[in-house]
Chains A and B, each alone.
Chain A
Amino acid sequence: MATAFSATLPLHGSSQENRLLLPPTRLPPPSSFLGSTRSLPIRRLNHAHAARRSPVVAVQEIVKEKKPTNSLLITKEEGLVLYEDMILGRSFEDMCAQMYYRGKMFGFVHLYNGQEAVSTGFIKLLTKSDSVVSTYRDHVHALSKGVSARAVMSELFGKVTGCCRGQGGSMHMFSKEHNMLGGFAFIGEGIPVATGAAFTSKYKREVLKQDCDDVTVAFFGDGTCNNGQFYECLNMAALYKLPIIFVVENNLWAIGMSHLRSTSDPEIWKKGPAFGMPGVHVDGMDVLKVREVAKEAVTRARRGEGPTLVECETYRFRGHSLADPDELRDAAEKAKYAARDPITALKKYLIENKLANEGELKTIEKKIDDLVEEAVEFADASPQPGRSQLLENVFADPKGFGIGPDGRYRCEDPKFTEGTAQV
């Protein structure tokens, strides 16, 4: 079942050394771990840890144990929800590219095309009170978590109706209502913040005695896995047994730096067991596989069994950002992953397994197109923030603006928010 619709490459054992000798821009030979889910080598968990923690099993085996091979992984409703979410992510990002080239959007914009399976696979299993922390490539995480397309588009246009009133921008999507805790520009910055949110979950349960089983999902890339904060948080999350899932969106490239050129051991899932948590590798171009792994990881976290590290092998179809000429990536590599487009794959699965027909899927696509168009019109029509908004929201308690020349707190000056008060 796990191999239902993606072409997986077999894993041969011998190519570890070869990989390092290849010129950086060429694909490693097909005998690398890339693209394979056939044998998830997570069984190399330290015995001492295995005794204490729940056993980690290859995804394939979970699937085989729990479901007979002729039953489906999802119901029709779930399938349509997943499809719609991925189509929303794709259309939205495509529209962002158009708007950027028309000058409506500016600054740094990082698009998520190709990676939708990871966002949809994980976030659609979460509740509203679970938290998501992401990086600068956060539009689709925000959308999957429930932030409306209008709010995200307006934020990108820098309008006052955006989810952060135009003050955050593309890289800083925050939504308290949907527990989208950002949107961070520095790689690795979101990981400790996510660990803190998971810490709060546990604190609420154990110290404040509240009924809280919220989990946090932290999304970050392959480049981040060489950053110190990642390791610090793997250590502390396992140490304190926090309800967090670390999701690595390994798209093989950090701007123009290939993962293989920058990492001594490129198999990121292995770093989990080193800290005492399960490390799982999954095909990130296959939303159903991602969803199966996510279910297991989220359930673990909710039961209080601690963190999981999930490495999703995925790919971004566009450059790092809209300003990236994307010259270093091989055309053959891009073509190979384009053939594994997660949306096409899910569509094929739904149709072949008679969960939906062309017509229903087309309706969804049309609905999303209209939604995105409407979001653009809304954003266009929205006003820019007023001048006085410049000074707002620096502090939650605005007495932090100090004391004005008249000896009273500046924020008490009635002209303060009009922008005419002296600063």
Chain B
Amino acid sequence: MWGILRRSAVDGGGFSASSLRRTRFALVSARSYAAGSKEMTVRDALNSAIDEEMSADPKVFVMGEEVGQYQGAYKITKGLLEKYGPERVYDTPITEAGFTGIGVGAAYAGLKPVVEFMTFNFSMQAIDHIINSAAKSNYMSAGQINVPIVFRGPNGAAAGVGAQHSQCYAAWYASVPGLKVLAPYSAEDARGLLKAAIRDPDPVVFLENELLYGESFPISEEALDSSFCLPIGKAKIEREGKDVTITTFSKMVGFVLKAAEKLAEEGISAEVINLRSIRPLDRATINASVRKTSRLVTVEEGFPQHGVCAEICASVVEESFSYLDAPVERIAGADVPMPYAANLERLALPQVEDIVRAAKRACYRSK
């Protein structure tokens, strides 16, 4: 546990050789003590985060489709209706624009809504409220009216759900000033970031991933504490390395970590950055890492044009150009609406092989 605390202290800041060694050791030791450390699924992490925030502050309430009696479309809000009652857990009719607007209006008037979208694809029906009445209000009213609302739900591709249920909205929301956009990966990320989001006085778009809900991650005692919070705007170095920097977020972090293992076998040491926060983007951490490794590979699941990767590449080229030893590499989803057939869907999303290939290209180890 001491090692884990140390690890979170060095994240995002400067590195020293000794702390690198220590954190490596801590990572390894945490895993080898699996029987002793706890594991938690992302679903339970989110559920416990909402539960604790609701019990701490009576102004927090949940609204969305199927969040109450159905226990949540993906069971994230399981048990909340029984615990807090129908006045704090609202099953809404299928009216995204209407209930999102109601959430925004309630936030204007001082409450703290947590609005769930069954998937962020449905948020397109409410995007006017997320952007025009939530994101821009603090600015338009010159600070008089802030909007402490959280919009959360699964984002990006699931398995075989087709074109209209698979889009990744990170790039769209992250381009709007006034919104904070978070994308957790592990259970600890999910808990810490959701708690921070609910406590935050600004509108937060919280992009989860359906396929991660069931995955278990080790979780520290510190993360289980009810006042645990992760800072918004700081990325996490999941794995230290010295040859190439690979940045990503959400489900792709898992793929990149696997790719990093494969690369390690071939002698390439990859530094994996879990962005955690898409807006504000932790440019400092990314650039510091690139200045150390001199190579960048950015990975995301969404459409390539105007994506999060494009922004990171631009930022690195602007700020760390003279440190780059190779052109920046961008791995994104295919520039097509998501196909249904399983093999085509696999082709349309970045896979571990694609990431490995890109990293090797950046290291001039392949064509």
Chain A contacts to B: CB under 8 angstroms: 131, 133, 164-169, 172, 174-177, 181-186, 189, 191-201, 203, 206-208, 228-229, 232-233, 235-236, 239, 392-397, 399-407, 409
Nearest chain-B residue to A131 (Cβ)?
Answer: B109
CA distance A392 to B97 in the complex (A): 28
CA distance A403 to B276 in the complex (A): 14
- Please determine whether B102 and A192 come into contact, CB atoms closer than 8 angstroms: yes
**Cβ–Cβ < 8 Å partners of A201 in chain B:** 109
Q: Check B129 for interface membership: any CB of A closer than 8 A.
A: yes
- Please determine whether A199 and B143 come into contact, CB atoms closer than 8 angstroms: no
Q: How far is the CB of B198 from chain A (nearest CB, A)?
A: 13
Q: Check B232 for interface membership: any CB of A closer than 8 A.
A: yes
Known contacts A186-B128, A407-B13, A396 near B106 by CB under 8 Å: no
- Please determine whether A229 and B142 come into contact, CB atoms closer than 8 angstroms: no
Chain B contacts to A: CB under 8 angstroms: 12-14, 58-59, 61, 87-88, 92-93, 95, 97-111, 128-129, 132-133, 137-146, 148, 177-178, 180, 200-202, 231-234, 277, 279-285, 287-288, 319
- Please determine whether B93 and A393 come into contact, CB atoms closer than 8 angstroms: no
Give which listed residue, B58, B111, B141, contacts A168 with CB less than 8 A: B141
Indicate the member of A181, A195, A397, A403 with the most B CB atoms within 10 Å.
A403
Known contacts A164-B142, A232-B98, A407-B13, A396 near B201 by CB under 8 Å: yes
Q: List 18 A-B contacts (CB under 8 A).
A: A164-B142, A174-B137, A174-B145, A175-B144, A181-B108, A183-B140, A189-B128, A192-B129, A196-B102, A198-B105, A208-B59, A228-B97, A232-B99, A236-B93, A236-B95, A394-B177, A399-B233, A407-B288
- Please determine whether B282 and A402 come into contact, CB atoms closer than 8 angstroms: yes
Give which listed residue, B95, B107, B178, B319, contacts A395 with CB less than 8 A: B178
- Please determine whether B138 and A164 come into contact, CB atoms closer than 8 angstroms: no
- Please determine whether B101 and A192 come into contact, CB atoms closer than 8 angstroms: yes
- Please determine whether B144 and A394 come into contact, CB atoms closer than 8 angstroms: no
Known contacts A235-B93, A236-B95, A409-B233, A403 near B284 by CB under 8 Å: yes
- Please determine whether B233 and A168 come into contact, CB atoms closer than 8 angstroms: no
- Please determine whether A165 and B14 come into contact, CB atoms closer than 8 angstroms: no
- Please determine whether A193 and B201 come into contact, CB atoms closer than 8 angstroms: no
Given contacts A196-B103, A203-B61, 11 further A-B contacts (CB under 8 A): A164-B144, A167-B142, A177-B144, A182-B145, A192-B98, A199-B102, A203-B87, A232-B95, A236-B93, A396-B202, A403-B285
CA distance A191 to B97 in the complex (A): 10
CA distance A60 to B143 in the complex (A): 45
CA distance A400 to B87 in the complex (A): 31
CA distance A409 to B58 in the complex (A): 30
Give which listed residue, B102, B143, B200, contacts A233 with CB less than 8 A: B102
- Please determine whether B110 and A200 come into contact, CB atoms closer than 8 angstroms: yes
- Please determine whether B140 and A164 come into contact, CB atoms closer than 8 angstroms: yes
CA distance A409 to B288 in the complex (A): 15
- Please determine whether A194 and B105 come into contact, CB atoms closer than 8 angstroms: yes
**Cβ–Cβ < 8 Å partners of A191 in chain B:** 101
Known contacts A392-B143, A400-B280, A197 near B233 by CB under 8 Å: no
**Cβ–Cβ < 8 Å partners of B142 in chain A:** 164-168, 174, 393
- Please determine whether B98 and A176 come into contact, CB atoms closer than 8 angstroms: no
CA distance A409 to B277 in the complex (A): 14
- Please determine whether A196 and B132 come into contact, CB atoms closer than 8 angstroms: no
Nearest chain-A residue to B234 (Cβ)?
Answer: A403
**Cβ–Cβ < 8 Å partners of B282 in chain A:** 402-403
Give which listed residue, A167, A394, A402, A407, contacts B281 with CB less than 8 A: A402
Known contacts A164-B140, A189-B128, A395-B180, A196 near B93 by CB under 8 Å: no
- Please determine whether B319 and A236 come into contact, CB atoms closer than 8 angstroms: no
Q: How far is the CB of A21 from chain B (nearest CB, A)?
A: 34
Known contacts A189-B128, A189-B133, A403-B234, A176 near B141 by CB under 8 Å: yes
CA distance A267 to B78 in the complex (A): 44
Give which listed residue, A186, A197, A228, A407, contacts B109 with CB less than 8 A: A197
Nearest chain-A residue to B142 (Cβ)?
Answer: A165
Known contacts A192-B97, A233-B101, A403 near B283 by CB under 8 Å: yes
Give which listed residue, B143, B145, B180, contacts A181 with CB less than 8 A: B145
Q: How far is the CB of B11 from chain A (nearest CB, A)?
A: 11
Q: How far is the CB of B80 from chain A (nearest CB, A)?
A: 14
CA distance A401 to B285 in the complex (A): 14
- Please determine whether A207 and B88 come into contact, CB atoms closer than 8 angstroms: yes
Known contacts A239-B93, A396-B201, A407-B13, A167 near B139 by CB under 8 Å: yes
CA distance A165 to B141 in the complex (A): 8
Known contacts A181-B108, A189-B128, A393 near B138 by CB under 8 Å: yes
Q: How far is the CB of A234 from chain B (nearest CB, A)?
A: 9
Known contacts A203-B87, A229-B98, A395 near B109 by CB under 8 Å: no
- Please determine whether B106 and A236 come into contact, CB atoms closer than 8 angstroms: no
Known contacts A233-B101, A409-B233, A396 near B138 by CB under 8 Å: yes
CA distance A320 to B42 in the complex (A): 52
**Cβ–Cβ < 8 Å partners of B87 in chain A:** 203, 206-207
Give which listed residue, A199, A392, A395, A407, contacts B14 with CB less than 8 A: A407
- Please determine whether B141 and A182 come into contact, CB atoms closer than 8 angstroms: yes
CA distance A185 to B132 in the complex (A): 9
Known contacts A235-B93, A400-B280, A189 near B143 by CB under 8 Å: no
- Please determine whether B132 and A189 come into contact, CB atoms closer than 8 angstroms: yes
Nearest chain-B residue to A164 (Cβ)?
Answer: B142
CA distance A397 to B178 in the complex (A): 10
- Please determine whether A397 and B201 come into contact, CB atoms closer than 8 angstroms: yes
**Cβ–Cβ < 8 Å partners of A164 in chain B:** 140-142, 144
Nearest chain-A residue to B96 (Cβ)?
Answer: A232
CA distance A232 to B231 in the complex (A): 37
**Cβ–Cβ < 8 Å partners of A239 in chain B:** 93
Give which listed residue, B88, B128, B284, contacts A405 with CB less than 8 A: B284
CA distance A197 to B280 in the complex (A): 29
Interface pairs A-B: 3 shortest CB-CB: A196-B105, A192-B101, A232-B98
- Please determine whether A400 and B180 come into contact, CB atoms closer than 8 angstroms: yes
CA distance A169 to B136 in the complex (A): 13
CA distance A169 to B142 in the complex (A): 11
**Cβ–Cβ < 8 Å partners of B58 in chain A:** 207-208
CA distance A175 to B146 in the complex (A): 12
CA distance A69 to B108 in the complex (A): 44
- Please determine whether A172 and B12 come into contact, CB atoms closer than 8 angstroms: no
CA distance A395 to B145 in the complex (A): 10
CA distance A131 to B103 in the complex (A): 16
**Cβ–Cβ < 8 Å partners of B13 in chain A:** 407
**Cβ–Cβ < 8 Å partners of A228 in chain B:** 97
CA distance A61 to B95 in the complex (A): 37
CA distance A394 to B146 in the complex (A): 10
- Please determine whether B177 and A196 come into contact, CB atoms closer than 8 angstroms: no
**Cβ–Cβ < 8 Å partners of A232 in chain B:** 93, 95, 97-99
Q: How far is the CB of B203 from chain A (nearest CB, A)?
A: 9
Q: How far is the CB of B153 from chain A (nearest CB, A)?
A: 18
Nearest chain-B residue to A191 (Cβ)?
Answer: B101
- Please determine whether B105 and A168 come into contact, CB atoms closer than 8 angstroms: no
CA distance A299 to B143 in the complex (A): 33
Q: How far is the CB of A311 from chain B (nearest CB, A)?
A: 20
